[in-house]
Amino acid sequence: MGETVEETASPTGAPETPVEFEAVEAPDRVAELEELVAERTTDLQRLGAEYVNYKKRVDRDRDLARQAGIESVLTDFMPVLDSIALARQHGDIDGGFRMVADELEKVMAKHGLVTFGEVGEEFDPNRHDALMAVQLDEPVTVTTVSQVMQQGYELKGRVVRPARVAVANP
């Protein structure tokens, strides 16, 4: 069955060619349209989920890049912090330089940089580099840090540089 619909002019004023279409039973057309709507809805939901995942990935990557930049700068300042620590040990920090050193250490701590490595703490190979072993007058029950040559640094719970130490073995 075919019908021909003919109009004399289109909205633009140009003559329109006759269009032929077949009459489709209404229930079949409704079912076809419902199926099409379901497909498009599924596609839209999938695209929405993909966008949410993309946004999360971009945010995570941005945070990782920011954290890597902070870590890089803090790592560059570690030798300066080591020099300040040595100067403090020898009492060579006075006046204005002391204030600058204190402020620098505060800024580093603000960004999550924490020093570790103290005499007497238990040796942890994940946090310490043992450079030498020494014998102590008093016996120890576990491998213990006996001397700290260079402080270790931790950034947000992750060791950035292990402490370089001498250890006393049991």
Largest CA distance in the chain: 112
Strand partners of residue 166: 132, 147
3-state helix, strand, coil in the chain (%, to 5): 45, 25, 30
Q: What pLDDT is recorded for position 13?
A: 58
Burial label for 165, CB within 10 Å (0-12, 13-18, 19+), is buried
What is the structure's pLDDT at 20?
Answer: 60
Tokens representing 77?
């300042």
Q: What angle do CA 14, 18, 22 make, to 5 degrees?
A: 145
Domains of the chain by range and CATH? 113-170 (2.30.22.10)
Q: Which two tokens stand for residue 132?
A: 């030498």
pTM here is: 0.65
Task: For residues 131 and 119, give the distance between their C-alpha atoms in angstroms, rounded to a whole number.
Answer: 14
**Overall residue count recorded for the chain in this entry:** 170
Asked if 87 and 105 touch (Cβ cutoff 8 Å), the reply is no
Ordered per-residue pLDDT tens for the chain, 170 residues: 455 555 555 556 555 666 565 555 678 889 999 999 999 999 999 999 999 999 999 999 999 999 999 999 999 999 999 999 889 888 888 888 899 999 999 999 999 999 999 999 999 999 999 999 998 888 888 999 999 999 999 998 899 999 999 999 88
Please tell me the predicted confidence (pLDDT) of residue 136: 83
